[in-house]
Amino acid sequence: MKNILLTVSMLSLLAAACAGAQAKGKAAQFKNFAMENNYFSCSVPAAWSMERDQEKDEEYKIYEIQLLAPVSGKAPTSVFVSYYAKDNADFNGYQDYVNSNSKNVLGETKSARENYEPVKDITLAGRKALLLSRERMVFLHPTTKSDESVQLKEKLYVLPAKAGFYVLHFSAPKDSFLANLGTFEKIAKSFKGLP
């Protein structure tokens, strides 16, 4: 009788484990997104929320969407897909962007709060691109006296174009970075922009 109960218990646990693995292994659903004026298109995760400020896009000549993961901890897991037009208000070309985002404001690549990896030349979706990787500690409430912070891990792809450049920017708390990296890579691999 004990053997039968033990066998039934083991089978129940095994079935529950398999069901959990199936749920975890279920592929995320994606939908297509195309920015107006054919600036870019990509697949976006259907379960993530998408934000956009069209007035700001026009004012700054930076056309972007922000995708936010449905479950986040203290800091959100996000992906920005951005097109910086040639006459954008923030950067004088992709190299200016790379220079500004591959080190901190003091020009350091390593400090007690930040670590910037060397910039790498890569190919993404058949295009020349640059890869930036960094980890930064950021304060969650910078306008208050709170010193609550989170360690962010970020991966950025910068793609030059004839009339500007593109940035695909993934940011997540360090402990949830790997769990969401596959989603970011699927967005990046589906990306199509102007030449």
Q: Which residues contact 105 (CB under 8 A, 6 or more apart)?
A: none
97, burial (CB in 10 Å: exposed 0-12, middle 13-18, buried 19+): buried
Which one, of 80, 75, 78, 97, lies nearest residue 142 by Cα? 75
8, burial (CB in 10 Å: exposed 0-12, middle 13-18, buried 19+): exposed
pLDDT reported for residue 8? 33
pLDDT reported for residue 111? 93
- pLDDT tens-digit series, residues 145-191: 888 899 999 999 999 999 999 999 999 999 999 999 999 999 999 99
Which one, of 192, 195, 190, 193, lies nearest residue 43 by Cα? 190
End-to-end distance of the chain based on CA atoms, in angstroms?
72
pLDDT reported for residue 28? 80
**Domains of the chain, start order:** 29-193 (3.40.1000.10)
At 173, which amino acid appears?
Answer: P
**And the tokens for 192?**
């199509």
93, burial (CB in 10 Å: exposed 0-12, middle 13-18, buried 19+): middle
Measured between alpha carbons, how far is residue 166 from residues 3, 52, 64, 158 in Å?
63, 16, 9, 6
Q: Which residues contact 93 (CB under 8 A, 6 or more apart)?
A: 86, 165
Query: Which pTM was predicted?
Result: 0.84
Please list the ranges in the chain whose pLDDT falls under 50.
1-24
pLDDT reported for residue 73? 78
Measured CA to CA, the distance from residue 69 to residue 47 in angstroms comes to 7
pLDDT reported for residue 74? 83
**And the tokens for 178?**
């790997």
pLDDT reported for residue 139? 86
